[in-house]
Amino acid sequence: MKVDSQEQAFANLTPDVLLDAVESTGVSCSGQMLALNSYENRVYQIGLDEGAPLVAKFYRPNRWSDQAILEEHRFTIELAEQEIPVIAPIIDKDGNTLLYHQGNRFTLYPCKGGRAPELDDPNHLLQLGRFIARIHLRGSTCGFEHRPSIDLDSFLHQPSSFLLENDFIPAHLVTAYETLLADLNERIEGCYARAGPFKTIRLHGDCHPGNILWRDEGPRIVDFDDARMGPAIQDLWMFLSGDRAYMSERAADLLEGYSQFYDFNPAELHLMEALRTMRLVHYAGWLARRWYDPAFPKAFPWFDTMAFWEEHILTLREQLAKMDEPPIAW
C-alpha cells in the first residue's frame, strides 16, 4: 500500500516528535506520557513541568479534512459555553484549536478523569438522558457542512463493498455474506420506512459508555471525533442492550431524563436495531481499512480469522430477526 507524506509522519510519531509538538505550543513537558485507549488517532496524556497534565490528540491523516475537524471543535466549544459537560479543545493564544507540527495535525485537551456509567442505575440513565438531550437541543439549531450523515451508504454499502473487494471474507462464506447483505439492506430500509420522517441533527455520533467519564457530580461526555448528522436515537441506543424487557426498562429511565430538555420522537425506536446492524458492518469495515497499520493486527488478533467471520455472519443473521420485531416499548 502506497503511503503518502502525511501517513508517513503519522507512522513516525515517536515520543520525541510527540513531545516536541506539545512543547511547540509554549508549555514545558516533564517527559511523562501515557498512551490512552485510541486506535483511529493517537492520544496521549502528557505530563507538564508545571500544572496539570494535558491530553494530546494526533489525527490520523486522510480521514477528516481540517474543516471537518474544526467543525467538531466549534461544536464542542459551543456545547461547553452552554455549560454542558463536554471536554472541549484548548484554544491557544492565537485562537487556534487545530495545531500542526512536522506534518502532523494535533489538538490539546484538558486532562479529566472518571469511570464508566452504571447502566443499571436509573439515576445514571436519567442524568445521561438529560445531558444528551441538551447536546441535541443545541445540535438541532444548525447542521454540519463538512461532516457526513449516518446512512446506509456510509455504514453498510461502503464498508461491506470494501470487505468483499479486498478479500477479507473467506471464500466459502462470500455467497452467504452477499445474500445476507441484500436481506439486511431490505430490513434496514423497512425500519426506516416504519420510522417515517425524522429530524436530522448534529450528534456525538459514537455515544457509548466508554465515551462517558462519570464522577460524583455526574458525567463528562468525551471524544466527538465521530460527530455526524443523524437521528437522535443514534446517541441513545448504545446505552440499551440485552433482552426486550431489560432494554425497555433502561429506555424508560434514559428517555425520562431526555424528555425534560428535548422532545423525543418515539418513531425513531424503529431505527434502533437497524442502526445497531449498520454499526456492526461499519466496524468490520473500519478494521479492514486500518489493517495495514501494524497497531491493528496487534490489538485485534481475532479479526481476519475464520472464527470471527463465522460469528459475525451469525450475529448479523440474528439482527435480521430483531429488525422484524416491533420496537421496544416506551
253 is catalytic: no
293 is catalytic: no
302-to-42, 159, 308 alpha-carbon distances in Å? 22, 19, 6
Indicate which residue of 223, 225, 235, 253 is catalytic: 223
Sign of CA dihedral 128, 134, 140, 142: negative
Q: What angle do CA 127, 129, 131 make, to 5 degrees?
A: 70
Instruction: Give me the DSSP letters along 224-280.
Output: -TT--EE-GGGGTGGG--SSHHHHHHHHHHHHHHHTTTS---GGGGGGHHHHHHHHH
Indicate which residue of 151, 183, 206, 226 is catalytic: 206
Say if residues 33 and 15 touch (Cβ distance below 8 Å).
yes
Coil, helix or strand at residue 35: strand
Half-sphere exposure of 185 (CA within 13 A, CB side): 13
User: Which positions are annotated as active-site residues?
Assistant: 206, 223
